[in-house]
Amino acid sequence: MPNFSLRTVRISLAIMTLSGYLALATTSMFGPEITLIPLALISSMRMFERLDEKSAYYQRISQIVSLAFTIVIVPYLFTDLILGLTAVVIYVQIHLFLHKKSVKEYRYLFLMAFFLLVDAVAQSPDSAFGLVVPIFVISAVWAFASVQIYAEAEANKNGNIADLLPAEHRRGFLPPEVAQWVTGQRRDQMSVAPVLSAVSIGCVVATLLFFLFTPRLDAGIFGRNNTITNTTTTGLDDRVNLAAGGNIAADEAPVFLARFPAMPQGQEPFPNQPLYWRVTSFNRLVGAEWDRVADDFIYIEWRSRASRIERAEAGGQTAPPGREVVQEIFLQDTHNAPGIPALANLVKLFPSATVRLRLDDRENQTFRVMESTSEGVSYRAESRIPEVPRERLVAASGDYARGFDGERLMDVFTDARISERARALATSLTERFDSPYEKAEAIQAHLRDPSLYAYTTSLESLSSADPVDDFLFNTRRGHCELFASSMCMMLRSVGVPARVASGYRDGDWSATDGAYIVRKRHAHLWVEAYFNNIGWYPFDPSGEAEIDNSAWAVFMRMLGRYSLMARYVYYRDVIGYSSGLQLGNIVNFSIGLFRFDVDLMRSSLPTMKFFSSGLPAFLILLCIAIAILWGFLMMYRSASLKRRAGPGLVFSEDQIRATRVYGLLKRRLLALGVNGHTVSARELLEEVQTNPSIDAAAVRHILRAYSDARFGGRPLKRETYRELVSALKSIKRDPQPQ
């Protein structure tokens, strides 16, 4: 085996591993100190490899450590999946680094480094991640190429198929020319370094292009933003920036699944009205960005009772009368979610046993996931949708000072930071109406006029000082953020309290699943206006974007549906299964086992509680200790059997016979003065050919038969084996001519 190939493998492995940890260092969960791990591993790798080769105790200790790590890590895999998986990857990497390695182990190490890079991507790394990626890509190209060269050299260290077999029988991953270069025959005719350098550059360019055209940064309703290509994709976030321009691409990724169990076939309760899945609201516009302060006309008190959360307003009053609508919702991913979606005017929440919710400190109808045993959560929500006749809406008084801390709240919800001409436009549209509701209708009708304004998903950046004015009088083209913000500011300017609500509009009905699949492209911003004795009432001045029905979009919708349903079924039947073994129970049982807490283990598993009832704690702990010792015994017995059996069935019977013949040939030639124990088969043949006193033809015949069987997969029967042994005996040193 050429030493330079192994050195290249080790160097590329070191760089690739270090770049994987550098990628982790760009995330908020890990800091630069995590790079000490690869530095320690790289510096101590050779020492521990030698220790692994010489010490059986070292192998025993590593097995015990692996078992202990497995027991400890199980609870973390269910409580914090990302941190648990990162710990597993790092431990596997450490274990492989500190033991002797073959080609397979090197490839596993490359895979672990790639997993670290993927782990960093999942945790929203900072901009320094872009500097790490090219280093990782270049080292990966060299690593995989060098390990393949190392594999070829390792496989041919006792014989070279590229040289000993005819060209039509050459086998292996590398082309014949490269295989010959590996073994030194064509070192003067080609060099693999320029080839790998060109491939590395190409991979780096391809990676940069991929990142340029893949959206990554969050920005308001339209989710992930790419500042290079000025392209955003639909989604939901905690921030809304009205000045941002660019092209908006619809994201077909599913967000949640919703059913109406009280309705026939689970369909929507209001077939002629859009569904507004409310998540949160914003009530303060500063420059071009929406924010919120903790104020509302209605003080809502949430009370936790048994397994539900109920709403009670000031003075113990309940929500206004209306139609109660029950929703069963499965939210696929709660990571960085601004809140959980539900129909507006939420009155009750029934979260599953695997999730804990908390009320947002700045919005009294927004609940966030505080803790969950999985990325997805399931809950039941009850909303009371007011069914208010238009006459009552029109009759609502415009005097908002009565019964409230009117002056302060009006300052919050009528703070209209718009230009004078926008204020004049709102006044001209509403001056003939006294009712706040009719004023809202007039402004909504104006913004919905297609001859005046157009809904578009492609627009230029607006003025950061006053994007509403820029939209109303200059561009007159925009998306839901601009339509809703303009209506909200215009309503405020004429004395009607208003805010914008963030969430999702409608969803795709799936008759097969009996549910609505709400996707990221359904993310939406609308207006809520406050009317006395009624409450917050929704308005939607926005148009709708055309649905992309291209083959790719249809395929992505189908793929997203299958992914969502698979996660929902897993959550429903495994995590949330209430009649049998739950993952939450497994987590608690693992913690109890680690702490030797019998009461926690009993409460975690109903079956164990039933069978262990009445048994003393020490007896249960004794049984657990016996089970652990039995596991160690089985592990030791397996290792002993493996040592007695040798390295395993690596070769076939024909290959074993070929290897045996090759060993006999080397011993025969050693007796004749040719040492073949430190050279390859090709080098052995070259040395015999330079010695005229040895029958080179017989040696070539035996080596060809060896290579055919050992590397070419050809049979070597017992009769042929005996013929080759006889031929060995005929190899003698001819007397030198005088």
Note the pLDDT tens digit of each residue in 6-22: 787 888 888 889 988 98
Q: What is the CA radius of gyration of the chain?
A: 36
Q: What are the tokens at 547?
A: 């649905």
Q: Residue 427 — pLDDT band, cuts 50, 70, 90? A: very high
The residues, any chain, with a CB within 8 Å of residue 208's CB and separated by 6 or more, are: 134
Residue 74 pLDDT more than 70?
A: yes
Query: Are the C-beta atoms of 335 and 28 separated by less than 8 Å?
Result: no
Gap between the Cα atoms of 612 and 657, Å rounded: 59
Residue 313 pLDDT more than 80?
A: no
Query: Are the C-beta atoms of 498 and 492 separated by less than 8 Å?
Result: yes
Taking the CB of residue 154, how many other CB atoms lie within 10 A of it?
Answer: 15
DSSP per-residue string spanning 152-210: HHHHTTT--HHHHS-GGG--SSS-HHHHHHHTTTTTTT--HHHHHHHHHHHHHHHHHHH
Residue 587 C-beta-side C-alpha neighbours within 13 Å: 16
pLDDT of residue 171: 43
pLDDT of residue 318: 47
pLDDT digits (tens, 9 = 90+) for 540-551: 998 776 676 777
Of residues 554 and 431, the one with the higher pLDDT is 431
Gap between the Cα atoms of 715 and 658, Å rounded: 9
pLDDT digits (tens, 9 = 90+) for 671-702: 887 777 667 777 788 888 887 778 788 888 88
Q: What is the 3-state secondary structure (H, E, C) of 13-78?
A: HHHHHHHHHHHHHCCCCCCHHHHHHHHHHHHHHHHHHHHHHHCHHHHHHHHHHHHHHHHHHHHHHH
Lowest mean pLDDT among 51-55, 180-184, 224-228: 224-228
Question: What single-letter DSSP state applies at residue 693?
Answer: T
pLDDT of residue 118: 84
First to last CA, the chain: 40
Give the highest mean pLDDT range of 108-117, 353-362, 370-379, 637-646: 108-117
Gap between the Cα atoms of 644 and 664, Å rounded: 24
Of residues 280 and 191, the one with the higher pLDDT is 280
Q: Residue 399 — pLDDT band, cuts 50, 70, 90? A: confident
Residue 719 pLDDT more than 60?
A: yes
Q: What is the 3-state secondary structure (H, E, C) of 503-541?
A: EEECCEEECCCCEEEEEHHHEEEEEEEEECCCEEEEECC
pLDDT of residue 184: 47
Residue 75 pLDDT more than 50?
A: yes
Residue 722 pLDDT more than 80?
A: yes
Of residues 401 and 228, the one with the higher pLDDT is 401
pLDDT of residue 324: 85
Return the closest-CA partner of residue 309 out of 257, 267, 266, 368: 368
CA distances from residue 454 to 353, 380, 402 in whole angstroms, order as listed:
46, 38, 39
Lowest mean pLDDT among 46-60, 165-179, 201-215, 346-360: 165-179
pLDDT digits (tens, 9 = 90+) for 621-645: 677 777 777 777 766 666 655 554 4
Gap between the Cα atoms of 469 and 453, Å rounded: 13
- Of the chain, the percentage scoring pLDDT greater than 70 comes to 69
Average pLDDT of span 208-229 = 42
Return the closest-CA partner of residue 138 out of 223, 63, 61, 201: 201
Of residues 174 and 493, the one with the higher pLDDT is 493
Gap between the Cα atoms of 208 and 581, Å rounded: 47
Gap between the Cα atoms of 464 and 90, Å rounded: 45
Give the highest mean pLDDT range of 197-211, 404-418, 524-538, 590-604: 524-538
Residue 591 pLDDT more than 70?
A: no
Gap between the Cα atoms of 71 and 674, Å rounded: 56
At CB < 8 A and 24+ separation, what contacts does 677-681 make? 680/156, 680/157, 680/158, 680/159, 680/160, 680/183, 681/156, 681/158, 681/159, 681/160, 681/164, 681/706, 681/707
SS3 236: coil
Return the closest-CA partner of residue 491 out of 427, 534, 557, 552: 427
pLDDT of residue 521: 84
Gap between the Cα atoms of 179 and 7, Å rounded: 18
- Of the chain, the percentage scoring pLDDT greater than 90 comes to 9
pLDDT digits (tens, 9 = 90+) for 180-202: 444 444 444 445 666 667 777 77
Residue 440 pLDDT more than 90?
A: yes
Give the highest mean pLDDT range of 124-128, 216-220, 569-573, 721-725: 721-725
Q: Residue 225 — pLDDT band, cuts 50, 70, 90? A: very low
* Mean per-residue pLDDT of the chain: 75
Lowest mean pLDDT among 50-54, 473-477, 639-643, 692-696: 639-643
Q: Estimate to the nearest angstrom the gap between the alpha carbon of 213 and the chain centroid.
A: 19
Residue 433 pLDDT more than 70?
A: yes
pLDDT digits (tens, 9 = 90+) for 248-257: 767 777 888 8
Residue 441 pLDDT more than 60?
A: yes
Q: What is the 3-state secondary structure (H, E, C) of 237-256?
A: CCCEECCCCEEEECCCCEEE
Q: Estimate to the nearest angstrom the gap between the alpha carbon of 642 and the chain centroid.
A: 38
Q: What are the tokens at 496?
A: 């009607």
Residue-range domain boundaries for the chain: 2-158+185-213, 232-551, 611-641, 653-728
Q: What are the tokens at 305?
A: 């009772």
Gap between the Cα atoms of 359 and 721, Å rounded: 81
Lowest mean pLDDT among 84-88, 388-392, 465-469, 677-681: 677-681
DSSP H or E stretch at residue 726:
helix 718-729
Q: Are strands 477-478 and 454-455 parallel, antiparallel or unpaired?
A: parallel
Which strands sit side by side in the sheet containing 508-510, from one edge to the other?
Answer: 300-305, 308-313, 346-351, 377-385, 323-331, 254-259, 515-519, 508-510
pLDDT of residue 230: 43
pLDDT of residue 172: 46
Task: Write the burial class of residue 83 (CB in 10 Å: 0-12 exposed, 13-18 middle, 19+ buried).
Answer: middle
Lowest mean pLDDT among 13-22, 77-86, 702-711: 77-86
Q: Residue 593 — pLDDT band, cuts 50, 70, 90? A: low
pLDDT of residue 489: 92
Q: Residue 444 — pLDDT band, cuts 50, 70, 90? A: very high
pLDDT of residue 105: 87
SS3 692: coil
pLDDT of residue 216: 37
Q: What pairs with residue 309 in β-bridges?
A: 304, 349
The residues, any chain, with a CB within 8 Å of residue 529's CB and separated by 6 or more, are: 436, 437, 440, 491, 496, 497, 498, 536, 537, 539
Lowest mean pLDDT among 30-39, 50-59, 318-327, 586-595: 586-595
Its pTM stands at 0.53
Q: What are the tokens at 387?
A: 């069914």
